[in-house]
Amino acid sequence: MAEDLLGGDESLFASTGVLDAEYLPKLMPYREQQQKYIAECISRLPAIGTSLFIHGPPGIGKTACVRWVLRELNEAGDGSIVPVYVNCWRDSDASRIGASLCGRFGINTSYRGRDELFPLALQKLRSFGSVALALDEIDRVQDAMFIYQLLEEIPHKCIFLISTSREWLARLDNRIRSRLVPEQMEFRPYDREQTKGILEERMRYAFVPGAWEKDAFETVVRICSEFRDIRTGLSLMRSSALEAEKDASRKVTPVHVSRAAGKMDVDIPEEPKARNLADFGK
């Protein structure tokens, strides 16, 4: 029927940015304990500097949790502790990290060689009272010796090393590891109810009210829980809604989710069947 179809200027989306992997929500449910400890590490500065190795599978909130605390520090702090975030997947060596930081700090590098960029950034970091430095995707760096320089030359700092690989720390050069002496924090995947809660929260902000059929959303939750990766769920929600808009549908249906999952090469797991009372004796 015509009333079930989207008009030419209508959309199921209210805010597509809410589904981006880089989006940082106002609240970080189910990670309060980790947030609290990260914040405690920072609060010890300048008296005590901490190194914390944060590891766990992708898509379970490691990066978002650290960035959330750094954002709170930036917004509520007095400037005595400077938050710095580096994505080592994008900036995978000292020169690139230096170039990124110099750009962020407003340092003119027009007449500088690549080998001068990290020392320039390091000099700026030393000028701050205290630094809370997050090195995300640290296992992607090509040469970790720049960490040695950070440890030796920045007097008051907390360093957060974020990785999907628990083994990265064991492979680290002994000279760095002996100075780092990091505490460790393991992030475990969200369970199904937590996954559902996170996706429901994003759905409320990303889509117009009533855009999703219940069964369609439950299918996304089931897939996301199977993959144990919130990013997979967010991407699938976006793709499913785009499939619905292609049909000019006012609702995202299980058909749209199935179509989107197929394009993403994602299998839809079967819903566990209810067991008969007779089965419980087996």
The 3-state DSSP class for residue 257 equals: helix
Look at the pTM and tell me if it is higher than 0.95.
no
126: left (phi over 0), alpha (psi -120 to 50) or beta: alpha
Question: What's the confidence (pLDDT) of residue 279?
Answer: 52
Gap between the Cα atoms of 73 and 65, Å rounded: 13
The DSSP-derived string for 13-57 is BS-GGGGSTT---S--TT-HHHHHHHHHHHHTTTT---EEEEE--
What band does 10 get if pLDDT is binned at 50, 70 and 90? confident
CATH architecture under which domain 2-22+191-263 falls: Orthogonal Bundle (1.10)
The ranges assigned to domains in the chain are: 2-22+191-263, 32-186
What is the average pLDDT score of the chain? 91
pLDDT per position as a tens digit, 205-259: 999 999 999 999 999 999 999 999 999 999 999 999 999 999 999 999 999 999 9
Q: Determine what percent of the chain is predicted with pLDDT higher than 70.
A: 94
DSSP 105: H
What band does 26 get if pLDDT is binned at 50, 70 and 90? confident
Question: Is the confidence at residue 203, as pLDDT, over 50?
Answer: yes
Question: What's the confidence (pLDDT) of residue 27?
Answer: 84
Question: What's the confidence (pLDDT) of residue 21?
Answer: 85
Cα atoms found within 13 Å of the Cα of residue 105, Cβ hemisphere only:
25
Q: Are 162 and 63 in contact (CB under 8 A)?
A: yes
Stated as kind and residue range, the H or E segment containing 84 is strand 81-87
Question: What's the confidence (pLDDT) of residue 166?
Answer: 92
CATH of 32-186, one of 3.40.50.300, 3.30.70.20, 3.40.50.1220, 3.90.1170.50: 3.40.50.300
Q: Are 135 and 162 in contact (CB under 8 A)?
A: yes
Rounded to an integer, the average pLDDT of 258-281 is 72
Cα atoms found within 13 Å of the Cα of residue 108, Cβ hemisphere only:
2
Question: What's the confidence (pLDDT) of residue 255?
Answer: 97
The 3-state DSSP class for residue 245 equals: helix
